[in-house]
């Protein structure tokens, strides 16, 4: 899809480390994981038809 290789991934992680610092990276990763899980859950609810009705 995006065709990101190892060198690009390492560069992105290095830039994130410089921008946010080593202390905040685990917190950011946790929040990103929770957001992705919530997004997947809402998509699944929409497919089941159990979501809110308009």
Query: Residue 46: its pLDDT value, please?
Result: 81
Question: CB count, 10 Å around CB of 29?
Answer: 11
The whole-number pLDDT of residue 47 equals 79
pLDDT score recorded for residue 45: 87
11-44: pLDDT as tens digits? 998 999 999 898 998 998 899 999 999 999 999 9
pLDDT at 18: 93
Contact present, 36 and 44 (Cβ < 8 Å): no
CA distances from 46 to 17, 28, 32, 34 (A): 36, 27, 21, 18
Enumerate the domain spans of the chain: 6-44
Tell me the mean pLDDT in the region 45-50: 76
């Amino acid at each position: 899809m995006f065709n990101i290789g190892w060198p690009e991934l390492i560069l992105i992680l290095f830039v994130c480390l410089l921008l946010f610092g080593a202390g905040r990276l685990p917190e950011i990763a946790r929040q990103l994981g929770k957001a992705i899980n919530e997004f997947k859950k809402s998509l699944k609810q929409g497919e089941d038809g159990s979501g809110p009705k308009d």
